[in-house]
Structure 1
């Protein structure tokens, strides 16, 4: 599925009051997976690709919601970010 089709799908979902808070919460869950994978004391839990991918999907959902609430498409975000990173890192 491409970005445009995904954005159309997200737009069919029920509205959430605060996409920014949802995004922050989901980023926290992503970081929990990373933290557990990087434990140095023998308690390391290797990254579970399926669970990690699911959390990244939740991040993408809220990011899309937040962008759309502000009249921005994911393509615009990606294009802007590419230009910024190219300028910064050449």
Structure 2
């Protein structure tokens, strides 16, 4: 299920899945790496901010807090499901709004 979900998100992003890995232990682990080429005119730098610039969050802060709380049975189901929904949303859509 995890591998299938990852493959679906790669396709949704317009990418090609060429590998990945998972580890099945007490807490399942899954990972992918992303490699690509960007036209120099389309690079969006993340190191050029200045005092007075606005910071726009594309997703709420605290996802890791909710998932950690869930792992020790301290998060309510509603918060956990919302965290999962947010993690399933690609940053692609926020990036498109930045153009």
Report the TM-score, using the length of structure 2 for normalisation. Answer: 0.27
Greater Cα radius of gyration, structure 1 or 2:
2
- If asked which structure has higher relative contact order (CA below 8 Å, sep 6+), I would say 1
Report the TM-score, using the length of structure 1 for normalisation. Answer: 0.29
Q: Which is helix-richer, 1 or 2?
A: 1
